[in-house]
Amino acid sequence: MHNLTLPISEEQIRQLRVGDTVSLTGTIYTARDAAHKYMVENFIQGEPPATEREMLAELEQGLSGGVIYHCGPIVRKDESGKWHFVAAGPTTSIREEPYEYQVIERFGVRAVIGKGGMADKTLQACGDHGAVYLHAIGGAASLIARSVVEVIGLFKEEFGLPEAFWKIRVEDFQCVVTMDSHGGSLHKEVEALSERNLQEILK
């Protein structure tokens, strides 16, 4: 088990290989489809609008050496107005493939958490910039929520609560490295094995 405290250095990421288990402690951000589209359109494709510079500063500070979690949480607000995660399961990551490689490069993201894996552009970005893809346990949303010890901030609430950015503090958030910074991808391996088995069955 690799115990990593955020922010994470490139050196630490380069030590990880497919199949390694990781425990994360520190501040991470959730981001799904709307959040990724927003980051690319506002902060990567052109000059950031003046109205979005505060959010840009937040992401530049928080994502450098940081982690993006593909998650649309179920949340509740207590009587004092404080948010809590009730369920925090991973979202299917491939939907972010058109955006993720750009986000990794622009913001210095060190790890992306989700389920199902990602494709060639993200794998290339992991190698070029020192990042990994971490697989969280699908179907264990309430269990994962126990690792979320504090909701620090909510950004872009107008996207809807599942699609908004949530800034959270986690402790002992356990994942498995399934795409590393050395070109390794467990998802590609499984796909290739499945294809070989299928061809054997069809013979």
Q: Which of 36, 70, 129, 135 is the catalytic position? A: 36
Helix (H) or strand (E) holding 149, with range, is strand 148-155
Residue 155, beta-bridge partner list: 165
Catalytic: 70? no
Instruction: Show the tokens assigned to 68.
Output: 């993006």
The DSSP secondary-structure symbol of 89 reads: P
Q: What value does the CA radius of gyration of the chain take, rounded to a whole number of Å?
A: 17
* DSSP tag of 139: T
Residue burial 70-90, b: 16+ Cβ < 10 Å; e: rest: bbbbebeeeeeeebebebbbb
Q: Looking at the annotation, which residues are catalytic?
A: 36
